[in-house]
A and B are shown apart, each in its own frame.
Chain A
Amino acid sequence: VRVDSDPERLERGLAQLVLTLIELLRQLMERQAVRRIDAGGLDDDEIERLGNALMALAQRMDELKASFGLSDEDLNLNLGPLGDLL
């Protein structure tokens, strides 16, 4: 029922939505990487490369969160009966 046309808040709201989805994908990729390690499907080089990629992504996420003033708790969506997205 709230409509807020303040452009700064709109931009922050949009950033929050986009970053939430990216964060969801980042966490899914991280879990997938961990599962692949557990399954023994990765050699040391692959683990190093995958780790570097995920680390760079985490770093970039932190920067984006900071520049939009968003905390980890902001990056979540309540999906009602489905629970929280993250």
Chain B
Amino acid sequence: VIYVYAITEPPAEPCSPQPGGFNGAQLRFLVDDGIAAVYSRHRSLRIRESPEDLWSHEAVVRRLMARGAVLPLRFGTLLAGEGDLRRSLAERHGELVRGLERVRGRVELSVRVLGREGPEPAPGQVGGREYLLGRRAALQRAERAAGEVHEPLAALAREARLRAPATPPAIFAAAYLVDRGGVDEFKDRVRALAAARHDLSIVGTGPWPPYTFVTEPGL
């Protein structure tokens, strides 16, 4: 089988396999007219959703990201062999080229906003009316925070995507596709918002590979 990590721009010169794949396997490039898939060969491979395996996948994507545009594939993408990979690349060639153009020279930055007040009452501790009014207040807070934090940040980004609703205790989470040259300005803006909002805890992370802005991460 082969494990496919990402679609990327072809290396400038034909390059020999290099170390870095799962279980010490070498990373190989399969090039098809302006795009390249990065994969490793395995006699058999059992991938687990463990921190180690996720990190191995992520480490490859991050190395590729340092070189150029990259479309990370869904963790755990296994194909029978190079023939299947070549067919997938050919079938989806146009879409993958557009995907690379979309993220070229850009990175993903992510922002989570948490309310600072105490946790909501757990179900069962309050009456029905109090519970429902609490949920209503929480939804309203999330909407306001979303607007006030999201809009100035979205103005600095090429694309933005809200994750709604965010996973509690976050009341808002979003991903932004930002030009590499604009990352510092974006982070400064996040810091300024965080300093101005004492009612919210605003956490920015990244740059990340553009996971959120890959339309179809599978092959």
- What's the Cα separation between A38 and B132 when bound, in Å? 12
Q: How far is the CB of B182 from chain A (nearest CB, A)?
A: 24
Out of A2, A37, A53, which one reaches B78, CB within 8 Å? A2
Verify A34–B77 contact, CB threshold 8 A.
no
Verify A37–B167 contact, CB threshold 8 A.
no
Out of A34, A52, A59, A84, which one reaches B139, CB within 8 Å? A34
Interface residues on B, range: 20 to 34
Out of A37, A72, A80, A83, which one reaches B132, CB within 8 Å? A37
Cβ of B127: which chain A residues have Cβ within 8 Å of it?
Answer: 48, 51-52
- What's the Cα separation between A59 and B128 when bound, in Å? 12
Cβ of B131: which chain A residues have Cβ within 8 Å of it?
Answer: 51-52, 54-55
Out of B130, B132, B219, which one reaches A34, CB within 8 Å? B132
Say whether chain A's binding surface is mostly helix, strand, loop, or mixed. Answer: helix
A62 interface hit (Cβ, 8 Å): yes
- What's the Cα separation between A86 and B168 when bound, in Å? 13
Verify B123–A56 contact, CB threshold 8 A.
yes
Cβ of A62: which chain B residues have Cβ within 8 Å of it?
Answer: 123
Cβ of B123: which chain A residues have Cβ within 8 Å of it?
Answer: 55-56, 58-59, 62
Interface residues of B (CB under 8 A from A): 76-79, 123-124, 126-133, 135-136, 139, 161, 163-165, 167-168, 215-216, 218-219
Interface residues of A (CB under 8 A from B): 1-2, 27, 30-31, 33-34, 37-38, 44, 47-56, 58-59, 62, 71-73, 80-81, 83-84, 86
